[in-house]
Amino acid sequence: MSKSAVQTNQALPTPSRKTSLLVKINQQKYILLLLLPAFIWYVIFMYMPMAFSAVAFTDFGFSATINFVGWDNFIRLFNSPGFWNALENTLLISAYNLVFYFPLPIVLALLINEFRSVAFKRVVQFIVYIPHFFSWAVVGSIFVMLLSPRYGIMNELVKLLGHEPIYFFVSPTWFRSILVTSHIWRDVGYGAVIYIATLVTIDPELYDAAWVDGAGAWAKLIHITLPCLYSTIATVLLLQVASILRLFEQVLVMYNPAVYDVADVLNTYAFVEGLQNGDFGFATAISLFTSVTSTILVFGTNWLSKKFFHESVI
């Protein structure tokens, strides 16, 4: 290369980081437009309501006047038996979901990944994934029909075994099991798809090298597949913990007065206090407590993920 060419190359200005970002935005503007509806939805329904958090410190309700009451709503909250019952139910149901649901998408993804037929794999993925698109109202109706004491298939099996029909939806013993089972049925396929997307990115040469070294199927699973899933597992776990106190729609469409003691969770408790009883200040205090606690859980889970999995998602 000639001396003049070198000087010309050295004279070319390096684009600034700001200019480079604007160029990338311009190149991907149509893709970013696809994200705009979701962005607007989050701003309106997730971030704008934060501006009204101050309502938790007032007696805002159906009365004509609004007074600042300081921490009175929170003192009342922590002295309320209904709050502690709702908190206990929320933690128990969420714990059951973590214990029984969390490993299943991983297991299902590993099983689907072992199928050799691509067509069969796609059919299985579709079958297990489609329930995720059903609303909780639809899922609740399906389970009501399945568990009906008169014509539900489960009670038909109970009758064949010589027992009396079980009223599942009004039984405090069975109701939490229904919540966990319906959650698994609806979302296990969606969770499996996330792990399958990670599995297809694993370099096949790793498995070939392990096979040459004499590694069997279990050795490949333990030393290759699972370590490659650690970051995805940590991310999904963080998202699960972030929503551990966010139970609402599923419980709202399924519970009834007979199971309030074992089914009422923090968000349904806030719903009743706010929209039915008109105590918006108290309901906002419940929601603010839920949000702050969820944030603490997220950062705590991220710290544990860094400590044990060496993976950080924040």
For the stretch 229-272, pLDDT in tens is 888 888 888 888 878 888 999 999 999 999 999 999 999 999 99
CA-based nearest residue to 237, from 308, 150, 178: 308
pLDDT, average across residues 82-100 = 93
Whether pLDDT at 11 is above 60: no
Question: Which residues have a Cβ under 8 Å from the Cβ of 107 and sit 6 or more positions away?
Answer: none
Beta pairing partners, 58: 68
Residue 268 in contact with residue 255, Cβ under 8 Å?
yes
Of all residues in the chain, what percent are helix, strand and coil, respectively (each to 5)?
75, 0, 20
Residue 298 or residue 99, greater confidence: 99
Our separate counts of H helices and E strands in the chain read 17, 0
Whether pLDDT at 2 is above 80: no
Radius of gyration of the chain from its Cα atoms, rounded to whole angstroms = 26
Supply 156's token pair. Answer: 């038909």
* Cα gap 168→256, rounded to integer Å: 12
List b or e across 195-221, with b for residues whose CB sees 16 or more CB atoms inside 10 angstroms: bbebbeeeeeeeeeebeeeebeeeeee
Beta pairing partners, 68: 58
Highest mean pLDDT among 15-19, 83-87, 226-230, 231-235: 83-87
CA-based nearest residue to 90, from 243, 297, 285: 243
DSSP reduced 3-state for 71: coil
pTM of the model as a whole: 0.82
